[in-house]
């Protein structure tokens, strides 16, 4: 009966993370592991001394670690690797699941002596598989907290070669612990061990070396030492000032699991708070994939309702990772020279980890009329960077730059993988070397004295301004006319580079995993982030000899009108003597002015102006729409029952509307709703539910608030 009661409690706690039906059961147990839902029994409902919710399973549940197996990019990439080298499927499945599905991998490979498989009827991603739940629970609690202090931080202990103890010992960061509740409820024994707070623990998966094959699929390296360094975040950290023996020691956990003061467990209730409690944010910089997981939560079986927490944390960490400064900017004889400095504030290379990631500089110069006169690093709608060699031709490499003088030169901080023939590749199993690695090194990193696995590769190695946590470069743009110019620069980040996407989609790829990822990714707006930006103004002398190029700014207000209404054209110019109107107008035009027009149909107005420096043309279009027919404002009827409940009981929301096209839920629930319907929700705390219904005549919102009524009751206010 006690076990049944425990499972009932866990079942309700599980719904704190999801209000949708999901196939994943987080209360599973295996020979060595226990699902996160079992841990939530005691490690939920934690509030630190600052009043912040620091519930362990809640924070972890919204991380990439919790969703490692659900990551659709990872699934698609593994599928293409299997397709390209099917004879090595056992190696690929094992290597790729050790750190993405560690519990299932360990039980199948280490305990049962079987062969790990991800896809197909026998794969762990099949809901009928015995270890489906263990696989879908990602890098869960009882994985990290059962890793023994064996070979940590060494080659033998990296690449997923962690050692799981056989005694069900849960290692933690505190020595003065009350162990019996965990023993009674889960069968695990909590114990203190310093290694749980050591960066070397993270090296288990974040130093990762992979085998590689030649053009006919034969594995080349004979030892793991010679494997390809797919990601070496721990070794990068070891060669920084943040290493334990460095001038500014900070562990991985110091940044990715910030400390506070809180209880470790909500049971027993009399437990004292602990200083140095590590918040389980486990945050990185992957806002793109976290957003994709959130947007496709039902399809991907994402059970956390708190994905925005991790998205915001990741965005904040990303924005703090690098700082940028325009050291100087001036114009002499019509030539602009801008000197830029970047400083890496993170404890490893930036970007670090999987080689699909990159950062680049977007440098832009505009004149006083906001016309762009120079632009390097513009991002195109498909995610390609204009002028980047590798984005134009995936066989090429955009080299590192110390000086940029043309728009087709772009400073991109990235790794480019090369195969055994020295050619660019995006296939991990063909990756034998890096053809380029100019990612920003961490502070204290001496590029001339580091292991080959984290070496700076390419022209950046010979760049004297690229080392020890930063880079400096110059932009030189000639031919500026006289006047004031704005110089702006931003550092941008992509989780998945254009080349990786093109390779993933190559050969009309019809793999289910690739098609699923492509559909989700194409539907998503967020595909890159701006990390940091800055700007300044400069005054150009125009060079003193060349006629100034004319400028023209033609605008219209409004640009869309109802039939029978008017719009006003406005224009101004510099270094212009005459202007000629064409298109939908032929007015008597000066070099600046305004003109009112009343077109009956959508029309384009063109203006061409000429000066000593040449002719410039600009056009605007006025869109004419039929007269607006007033539509009725939607109505919404939004009720809840019962009006009063105990905490942990279920309410039912019912709604109906008229003249509404769709409705959306916010506050205590989320998602797009039909114009009528109902939904049941279990409440544990005061909540507000807002429903907004949208129609042609506008939007109407209605809210229901369940407020606290004593210690156990909730009721409609």
Q: Which two tokens stand for residue 277?
A: 């409690």
Domain annotation covers residue 98: yes
| Length of the chain (residues) | 717
Same domain (yes/no): 656, 613:
no
Q: Judge if 593 and 666 occupy the same domain.
A: no
Structural domain contains residue 436: yes
Q: How many CB atoms lie within 10 A of CB 271?
A: 15
3-state secondary structure of 286: coil
What does the pLDDT read at residue 7?
40
Mean pLDDT of the chain: 93
Question: What DSSP state is assigned to residue 285?
Answer: S
When pLDDT is cut at 50, 70 and 90, the band that residue 11 belongs to is very low
Of 688, 703, 717, 708, nearest to 646 by C-alpha is 708
CA distances from 112 to 28, 30, 139, 488, 646 (A): 18, 12, 20, 59, 46
Residue 9 has pLDDT above 70, yes or no: no
Q: Is residue 29 part of a domain?
A: yes
Residue 442 shares a structural domain with residue 574? no
C-alpha gyration radius of the chain:
30
Same domain assignment for residues 614 and 498 = no
pTM (predicted TM-score): 0.75
Q: Can you tell me whether residue 598 is helix, strand or coil?
A: coil
- Given a cut of 50, whether residue 51 has pLDDT beyond it is yes
Tokens of 588: 């008597």
Looking at the structure, do residues 645 and 575 belong to the same domain, yes or no? no
* DSSP tag of 118: -
Residue 643 pLDDT > 80, yes or no? yes
Please report the pLDDT score of residue 15 as a whole number: 38
Provide the pLDDT for residue 612.
74
- Window from 90-104, 248-262, 689-703 with minimum mean pLDDT: 689-703
Tens digits of residue pLDDT in 502-555: 999 997 789 999 999 999 999 999 999 999 999 999 999 888 655 678 999 999
The per-residue pLDDT for range 558-570, each reduced to its tens digit, is 999 988 899 999 9
In angstroms, the CA 717 to CA 714 distance is 9
CA dist 195 and 252 (Å) reads: 12
Choose one of 575, 590, 625: the last residue of a domain.
Answer: 625
Regarding whether 258 and 116 lie in a shared domain, the answer is yes
Local confidence band at 2 (pLDDT 50, 70, 90 cut-offs)? very low
Question: Beta strands of 224-299 (E only): which ranges?
Answer: 228-232, 259-262, 274-278
At residue 157, what are phi and psi to the nearest 5 degrees?
-105, 5
Residue 674 lies in a domain: yes
Give me the half-sphere count of Cα atoms (radius 13 Å) on the Cβ side of residue 651: 27
Verify that 30 and 125 share a domain, yes or no.
yes
> What is the biggest distance separating any 2 CA atoms in the chain, rounded to whole angstroms?
94
Number of domains composing the chain: 4
Assign residue 574 the CATH number of its domain. 2.60.40.10
Residues 483 and 345 in one domain: yes
For 255, the 3-state DSSP assignment is helix
Is the pLDDT confidence value at 10 over 80? no
Asked if 568 and 665 sit in the same domain, the reply is no
The answer to whether 717 and 644 have CB atoms below 8 angstroms apart is no
646's tokens: 């105990």
* Least confident residue range of 95-99, 278-282, 372-376, 620-624: 620-624
Q: Which residues of 331-343 are buried (b: 16+ CB within 10 A; e: fewer)?
A: beebbbbbbbebe
One domain, residues 568 and 604:
yes
For residue 564, the enclosing domain spans 551-625
Both 266 and 322 in a single domain? no
The per-residue pLDDT for 545 is 54
Instruction: Give me the pLDDT at residue 546, please.
Output: 59
DSSP, collapsed to helix, strand or coil, labels residue 62 as coil
Is there a single domain that holds both residue 569 and residue 534?
no
Lowest mean pLDDT among 3-17, 288-302, 441-455: 3-17
Tell me the pLDDT tens digit for each residue of 61-92.
999 999 999 999 999 999 999 999 999 999 99
Q: What is the pLDDT of residue 544?
A: 60
pLDDT given for residue 8 in this prediction: 38
CATH classification of the domain holding 664:
2.60.40.2470
Q: Last residue of some domain: 491, 523, 541?
A: 541
For residue range 308-334, list pLDDT tens digits in order: 999 999 999 999 999 999 999 999 999
Q: pLDDT digit string (tens) for 606-638? A: 999 888 778 999 999 999 988 767 788 899 999
Given 523, 541, 559, the domain boundary residue is 541
- 235 within some domain: no
- With respect to residue 14, please indicate whether it lies within any of the assigned structural domains: yes
Write the secondary structure of 608-627 as one string of H (helix), E (strand) and C (coil).
EEEECCEEEEEEEEEEEECC
Within-domain flag for 26: yes
Given a cut of 70, whether residue 232 has pLDDT beyond it is yes
Report if residue 137 sits inside a domain. yes
pLDDT at 135: 97
Query: Is 90 exceeded by the pLDDT of residue 3?
Result: no
pLDDT above 80: residue 18? no
């Amino acid at each position: 009966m006690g076990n049944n009661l425990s499972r009932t409690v866990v079942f309700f706690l599980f719904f704190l993370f999801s209000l949708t039906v999901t196939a994943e059961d987080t209360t599973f147990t295996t020979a060595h592991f226990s699902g996160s839902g079992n841990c939530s029994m005691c490690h939920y409902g934690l509030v630190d001394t600052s009043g912040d919710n620091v519930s362990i399973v809640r924070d972890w549940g919204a991380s990439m670690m919790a969703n490692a197996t659900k990551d659709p990019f990872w699934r698609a990439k593994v599928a293409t690797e299997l397709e390209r080298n099917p004879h090595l499927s056992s190696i690929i499945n094992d290597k790729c699941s050790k750190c993405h599905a560690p519990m299932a991998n360990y039980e199948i490979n280490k305990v049962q002596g079987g062969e790990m498989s991800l896809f197909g009827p026998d794969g762990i991603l099949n809901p009928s598989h015995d270890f489906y739940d263990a696989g879908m629970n990602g890098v869960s609690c009882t994985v990290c907290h059962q890793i023994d202090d064996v070979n940590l931080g060494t080659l033998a202990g990296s690449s997923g070669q962690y050692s799981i103890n056989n005694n069900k010992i849960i290692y933690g960061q505190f020595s003065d612990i009350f162990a019996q509740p965990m023993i009674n409820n889960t069968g695990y024994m909590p114990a203190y061990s310093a290694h749980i707070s050591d960066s070397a623990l993270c090296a288990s998966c974040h130093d990762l070396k992979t085998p590689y094959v030649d053009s006919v699929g034969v594995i080349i390296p004979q030892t793991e030492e010679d494997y390809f360094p797919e990601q070496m975040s721990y070794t990068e950290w070891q060669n920084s000032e943040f290493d334990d023996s460095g001038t500014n020691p900070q562990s991985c956990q110091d940044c990715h699991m910030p400390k506070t003061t809180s209880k470790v467990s909500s049971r027993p209730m009399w437990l004292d708070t602990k200083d140095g409690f590590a918040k389980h944010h486990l945050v990185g910089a992957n806002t793109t994939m976290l957003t994709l997981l959130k947007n496709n939560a039902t399809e991907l079986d994402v059970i956390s309702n708190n994905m925005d927490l991790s998205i915001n944390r990741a965005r904040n960490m990303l924005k703090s990772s690098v700082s940028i400064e325009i050291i100087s900017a001036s114009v002499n004889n019509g030539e602009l020279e801008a000197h830029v400095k970047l400083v890496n504030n993170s404890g490893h290379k930036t970007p670090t980890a999987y080689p699909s990631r990159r950062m680049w500089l977007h440098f832009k110069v505009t004149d006083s009329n906001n016309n762009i006169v120079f632009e390097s690093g513009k991002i195109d709608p498909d995610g390609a960077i204009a002028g980047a060699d590798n984005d134009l031709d995936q066989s090429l490499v955009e080299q590192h730059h110390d000086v940029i003088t043309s728009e087709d030169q772009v400073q991109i901080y990235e790794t480019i993988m090369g195969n055994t023939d020295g050619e660019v590749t995006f296939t991990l199993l063909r990756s034998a070397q890096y053809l380029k690695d100019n990612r920003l090194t961490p502070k204290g990193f001496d590029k001339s004295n580091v292991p080959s696995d984290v070496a700076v590769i390419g022209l950046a190695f010979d760049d004297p301004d690229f080392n020890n946590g930063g880079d400096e470069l110059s932009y030189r743009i000639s031919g500026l006319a006289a006047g004031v110019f704005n110089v702006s620069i931003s550092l941008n980040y992509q989780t998945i580079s254009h080349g990786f996407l093109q390779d993933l989609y190559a050969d009309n790829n019809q793999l289910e995993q690739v098609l699923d990822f492509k559909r989700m990714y194409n539907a998503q707006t967020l595909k890159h982030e701006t990390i940091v930006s800055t700007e300044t103004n400069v005054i150009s002398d125009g060079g003193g000899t060349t006629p100034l190029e004319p400028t023209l700014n033609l605008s219209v207000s409004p640009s869309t009108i109802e039939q029978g209404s008017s719009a006003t054209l406005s224009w101004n110019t510099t270094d212009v003597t005459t202007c000629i109107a064409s298109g939908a107008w032929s007015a008597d035009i000066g070099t600046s002015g305004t003109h009112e027009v009343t077109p009956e149909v959508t029309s384009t107005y063109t203006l061409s102006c000429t000066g000593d420096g040449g002719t410039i043309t600009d056009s605007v279009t006025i869109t004419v729409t039929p007269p607006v027919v007033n539509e009725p404002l939607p109505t919404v009827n939004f009720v809840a029952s019962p009006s009063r409940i105990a905490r942990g009981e279920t309410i039912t929301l019912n709604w109906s509307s008229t003249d509404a096209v769709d409705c959306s839920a916010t506050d205590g629930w989320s998602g797009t709703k039909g114009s009528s319907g109902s939904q049941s929700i279990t409440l544990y705390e005061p909540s507000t539910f807002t429903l907004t219904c949208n129609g042609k005549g506008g939007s109407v919102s209605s809210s229901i608030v369940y407020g606290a009524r004593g210690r156990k009751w909730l009721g409609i206010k």
